């Protein structure tokens, strides 16, 4: 199984080929977006459960070097990514993983305690930290584990956990309330993974935000779709060639086959029936 990892500023995006099949859950995507704070600048959501349901067993293997590291660390505290239903990641000044699954919280608590973590209730949520409290953990840069319930665990920094708790329990604004992110997501085909960022193509005048998805076809080829939003329609023309060539390099397709569609300040780039993976 081949993966593409795109690193852009604080971005780390992992794209799994067999997980990008056009039967993902748009409601699941929206639910995850509604748990991320509105200061997020990028995110991905991947529906592993739906992938396994269509036989994409490779979803539970590897995840590339970045997720391999996390997978091992999480296993140490009883969180098995192989049993994950949905995995999300977001970043702003900090970052967090949001993990959905069917978790045995008693087992996880025992593993956390064995690893030297301490529990406390913080803003109505059971959290586990290395320090005696979440503030001390934040001072040392250690991870915080928030056991929201048996179906949702969040792992991240003090700041990121604090942001998610505010959204989930106290009604703070989420990334779903951000019109720019929502505009992109609503224009992308529903695969099992959707990713979005404000950090791509910052050298392009007027660029605001972009996102992409891949849809797996029955013959094993993939349809690639990227959608970008710009400050106005006039700056789109000058951006097309730069973005097509950049995407073609990242996803290994012939830029000559890319098709573009402009709708005001929105640019859509598609490359259909490609053997990207």
- pLDDT score of 53: 60
In a domain, 190, yes or no: no
**For residue 265, pLDDT beyond 60:** yes
- pLDDT score of 17: 33
At 37, the pLDDT band (50, 70, 90 cuts) reads: very high
At 128, the pLDDT band (50, 70, 90 cuts) reads: very high
In a domain, 28, yes or no: no
Question: How, if at all, do strands 266-274 and 222-230 pair?
Answer: antiparallel
Note whether 210 and 268 are same-domain residues.
yes
Note whether 96 and 138 are same-domain residues.
yes
Phi, psi dihedrals of residue 20, rounded to the nearest 5°: -110, 65
**For residue 251, pLDDT beyond 90:** no
Concatenating the DSSP letter of every residue in 50-98 gives: HHHHTT-GGGGS--HHHHHHHHHHHHHTT--GGGEEEEEEEESSSEEEE
Which of the listed residues 155, 172, 189 is the one where a domain comes to its end?
Answer: 172
Note whether 87 and 152 are same-domain residues.
yes
Q: Among 47-51, 63-67, 229-233, 255-259, name the most confident range.
A: 229-233
Q: Could you tell me which residues come within 8 angstroms of residue 198 by beta carbon, excluding any fewer than 6 positions away?
A: 41, 42, 180, 208, 209
pTM of the model: 0.80
Model confidence pLDDT, tens digit, residues 196-234? 999 988 889 999 999 998 777 777 677 889 999 999 999
Alpha carbon distance 175, 245 (integer Å): 29
At 20, the pLDDT band (50, 70, 90 cuts) reads: very low
Note whether 81 and 161 are same-domain residues.
yes
């Amino acid at each position: 199984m081949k993966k593409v990892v795109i690193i852009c500023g604080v971005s780390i995006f992992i794209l799994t080929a067999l997980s990008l099949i056009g039967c993902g859950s748009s409601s699941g995507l929206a639910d995850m977006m509604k748990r991320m704070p509105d200061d997020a600048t990028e995110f991905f959501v991947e529906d592993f459960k739906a992938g396994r349901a269509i036989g994409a067993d490779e979803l539970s293997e590897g995840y590339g070097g970045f997720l391999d590291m996390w997978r091992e660390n999480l296993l140490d505290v009883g969180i098995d990514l192989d049993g994950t239903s949905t995995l999300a990641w977001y970043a702003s000044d900090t970052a967090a993983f949001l993990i959905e699954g069917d978790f045995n919280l008693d087992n996880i608590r025992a593993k956390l305690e064995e690893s030297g973590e301490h529990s406390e209730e913080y803003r109505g949520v059971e959290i586990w930290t290395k320090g005696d409290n979440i503030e001390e953990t934040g001072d040392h840069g250690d991870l915080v584990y928030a056991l929201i319930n048996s179906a949702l665990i969040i792992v991240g920094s003090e700041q990121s956990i604090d942001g998610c708790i505010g959204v989930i329990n106290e009604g703070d604004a989420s990334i779903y309330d951000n019109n720019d992110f929502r505009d992109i997501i609503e224009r992308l085909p529903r695969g099992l993974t959707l990713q979005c960022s404000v950090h791509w193509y910052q050298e392009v005048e007027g660029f605001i935000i972009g996102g992409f998805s891949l849809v797996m076809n029955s013959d094993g080829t993939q349809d690639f779709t990227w959608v970008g939003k710009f400050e106005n329609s006039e700056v789109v023309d000058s951006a097309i060639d730069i973005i097509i060539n950049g995407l073609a390099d990242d996803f290994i397709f012939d830029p000559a086959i890319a098709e573009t569609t402009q709708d005001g300040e929105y640019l859509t780039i598609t490359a259909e029936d490609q053997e990207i993976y």
